[in-house]
């Protein structure tokens, strides 16, 4: 499967003593820089050059926050892209930035996590990560990064004479067939008297979805410390089906909920 991110193209240089940063994600996330929330994705701003600690907190309680350190370079716009999955291993993205080099040629350095991924530039196999790509023609190039067991990552970026484009790409693991089929399967062994308690989330709430998938539409929200009747559990244990407002039913991520045994329920009564 190709995960295209065409459009994340590095733009022209900015004014001296300033650096640009563009941060985008597949679902809205709070943007924190050096511990302070500065906005939500998509976030496009001009800041002082230097190293920053970036953290993205998804608005969806079923996705995991992500953080990294990046260096903003004077006169350059750094592009950060994050596609959130249900776990770190199922998430992907890249960081793209330029740096000035000697000479008038354009070049790239392509790094991936995990490493040893095959790199194709404009349809031609160039080698395996980490990979330098020298003497590129000026203009836009299509980069395809692939590795067995991981989803392909396709990036479109512009090569500029006198600059090296560095691409650091994180690949998402492929869902195994068994996991994919289990995502919608549920267990029949749930006790009708069982309950779940909602745990703390980065957003202060947890989304309830119509199906056991982050791609499913939202049917409501629940809050930490609230308790609900547990109706079903997905076979992979990642989702709980609950009864919430006015008898409605929906699915929540088990990452932010805990099952209550009968003894703990009796103590609360």
**Sequence-ordered list of residues with C-beta below 8 angstroms from that of 219, at least 6 positions apart, any chain:** 208, 209, 210, 248, 250
Sequence ranges of the domains in the chain: 2-170, 183-268
Q: Residue 179 belongs to what H/E stretch? A: helix 177-182
Q: Say what the pLDDT of residue 95 is.
A: 93
Q: Say what the pLDDT of residue 64 is.
A: 83
Q: Say what the pLDDT of residue 200 is.
A: 84
Task: Round to whole Å and give the CA distance between 73 and 77.
Answer: 8
CB-CB contact of 112 with 129 (8 Å): yes
Q: Say what the pLDDT of residue 235 is.
A: 79
The closest alpha carbon to 243, from 203, 193, 175, 200, belongs to: 193
Q: Say what the pLDDT of residue 190 is.
A: 55
* Total-model pTM: 0.61
Q: Say what the pLDDT of residue 84 is.
A: 92
Q: Say what the pLDDT of residue 155 is.
A: 92
CB-CB contact of 250 with 244 (8 Å): yes
Q: Say what the pLDDT of residue 179 is.
A: 42
Task: Round to whole Å and give the CA distance between 97 and 52.
Answer: 14
How confident is the model over 104-161, as pLDDT tens digits?
888 999 999 888 899 999 999 999 999 999 888 888 999 999 998 899 999 988 888 8
Task: Round to whole Å and give the CA distance between 236 and 14.
Answer: 49
Its CATH architecture, for the domain 183-268, is Roll (2.30)
Query: Residue ranges of the chain with pLDDT lower than 50?
Result: 1-14, 177-186, 188-189, 264-269
Q: Say what the pLDDT of residue 176 is.
A: 53
Task: Round to whole Å and give the CA distance between 139 and 131.
Answer: 19
Virtual torsion, Cα 154, 159, 165, 170, nearest 10 deg: 0
CB-CB contact of 19 with 73 (8 Å): yes
């Amino acid at each position: 499967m190709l995960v295209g991110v065409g459009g994340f193209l590095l733009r022209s240089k900015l004014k001296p003593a300033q650096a640009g940063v563009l941060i985008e994600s597949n679902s809205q996330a709070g943007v924190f820089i050096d511990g302070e929330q500065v906005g939500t994705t998509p976030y496009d701003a001009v800041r002082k050059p230097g190293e920053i600690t970036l953290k993205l907190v998804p608005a969806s309680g079923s996705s995991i926050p992500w953080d990294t350190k990046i260096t903003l370079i004077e006169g350059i716009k750094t592009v950060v892209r994050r596609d959130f999955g249900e776990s770190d291993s199922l998430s992907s993205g890249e960081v793209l930035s330029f740096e000035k080099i000697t000479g008038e040629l354009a070049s790239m350095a392509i790094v991936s996590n995990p490493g040893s991924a095959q790199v194709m530039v404009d349809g031609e196999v160039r080698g395996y990560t980490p990979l330098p790509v020298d003497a590129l023609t000026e203009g836009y190039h299509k980069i395809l990064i692939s590795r067995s067991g991981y989803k392909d990552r396709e990036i479109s970026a512009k090569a500029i004479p006198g600059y090296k484009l560095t691409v650091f790409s994180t690949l998402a693991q492929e869902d195994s067939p068994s996991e994919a089929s289990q995502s919608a399967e549920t267990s029949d062994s749930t006790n009708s008297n069982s309950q779940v308690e909602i745990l703390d989330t980065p957003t202060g709430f947890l989304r309830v979805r119509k199906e056991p998938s982050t791609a499913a539409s939202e049917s409501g929200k629940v809050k930490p410390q609230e308790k609900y009747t547990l109706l079903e559990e997905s076979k992979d244990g990642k989702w709980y089906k609950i009864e919430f407002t006015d008898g409605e039913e929906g699915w929540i991520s088990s990452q932010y909920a805990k099952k209550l045994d009968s003894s703990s329920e009796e103590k609360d009564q």
